[in-house]
Amino acid sequence: MKLRKLGSIFLISALVLTGCQSSNSGKGEAAKESEKELNVVSATVSATQVLDKLDANLLGIPTTKQELPEKYKGLPEVGQAMNPDLEIVASLEPDVFVMDNMFKENVEESMKEYDINTFYFDTSTYSAFLNSIKELGKETNKEEQAVKVIDELKDVEKEAVAKKGDKEPTVAIIFGGGENFMLATETSYLGDLAKTVGAKNIATDLDTKVESPYIQFSLEQILKQNPDYILRFAHGNIEETKKSFDDAFDKNPAYKELDAVKNNKVVDLDPSIFNVSANLQVKDAITTLGEIFYGK
């Protein structure tokens, strides 16, 4: 009887031990899977810059005239952001394909033909950009690296507003292409940046819903709001638009009534730093806005 009891005890112990080993083995396999180095293809310059910081294994890059990280030069090009060549993308067999969310509708129909795990990178505002970095880190098993990139950007924010104090400068951000001018709202990239560094956008008082990134405006509305600063951003044909800005301000005496004009606080934003969508040059953009509003 004693031998039988001992045998039963040993059998139960062995089963428990085997079960624990199986369970631990399963956890180990799951851990290995989560740490796996994933192959990535990018069709957007902004995401490629971020993937460089995440130290991701890139198999393909966007076709662009913009400067890409040196280590990615020579990789297969997969076409421009708005219309990537999905056949090339599929042939590279990526674990993750990264596209700009702005062009999602362009490819949605074509994507049905391909079984590609696609991550849509949102650069429409600074806030969306930060969230996309976080989510891209999760998607590519580079969460720690993503947190580091975000923390660096947050540090730049803190430095930019270090001299802010109780100031809340008011600002009008005039966005222009040729002779067509609009106001950038808080839902635009530039508007979100101004908000990030503590400025109050007068467009919010003109359109309380603020659903559109850009809204039409009249000079009378600008005069009534009388912002402390006017930021001008030329898009498209930059030289032509800059000339249109200057002509409008010089030829219309009403502009001279604005405090921003009187106090020499009309600033043309540098297109090599600022853009209509986010990229890692946002560090320079935030620093520059901080210096404009609060001094160097």
- What is the separation, in whole angstroms, between the first and last Cα of the chain? 89
pTM: 0.84
**Coil, helix or strand for 121?**
strand
SS3 content of the chain, % helix, strand, coil (to 5): 50, 15, 35
Location of structure tokens 């400067």: 67
Q: Residues 226, 220: contact at Cβ < 8 Å? A: no
Rounded distance between C-alpha atoms, residue 61 and residue 40, angstroms: 9
Rounded distance between C-alpha atoms, residue 102 and residue 58, angstroms: 21
196-232 burial: b if 16+ Cβ within 10 Å, else e: bbbbbbbbeebbeebeebbbebeeebbeebebbbbbb
Q: What is the mean pLDDT of residues 127-137?
A: 98
Rounded distance between C-alpha atoms, residue 126 and residue 213, angstroms: 13
What one-character DSSP code corresponds to residue 77? B
Q: What confidence tier does 49 reach under pLDDT thresholds 50, 70, 90?
A: very high
Which sign, positive or negative, has the C-alpha torsion 290, 292, 294, 296? positive
Location of structure tokens 């674990």: 95
Tell me what pLDDT residue 50 has: 97
pLDDT in tens, 84-100: 999 999 999 999 999 99
Tell me what pLDDT residue 180 has: 82
Of the listed ranges 35-39, 261-265, 276-280, 289-293, the least confidently predicted one is 35-39
Tell me what pLDDT residue 210 has: 60
Can you read off the two tokens belonging to residue 85?
A: 């060549």
Q: What confidence tier does 36 reach under pLDDT thresholds 50, 70, 90?
A: confident
Within 8 A by CB and 6+ apart from 36, the residues are: 141
Bigger pLDDT: 144 vs 4? 144
Tell me what pLDDT residue 35 has: 66
Helix or strand run (H / E) with residue 268: strand 266-268
Can you read off the two tokens belonging to residue 4?
A: 């039988």
Q: What is the mean pLDDT of residues 259-273?
A: 95
pLDDT in tens, 180-219: 889 999 999 999 999 999 999 999 888 656 678 999 988 8
Rounded distance between C-alpha atoms, residue 6 and residue 14, angstroms: 12
Q: What confidence tier does 31 reach under pLDDT thresholds 50, 70, 90?
A: very low
Bigger pLDDT: 194 vs 165? 194
* Mean of all residue pLDDT scores within the chain: 87
Tell me what pLDDT residue 209 has: 65
Tell me what pLDDT residue 251 has: 87
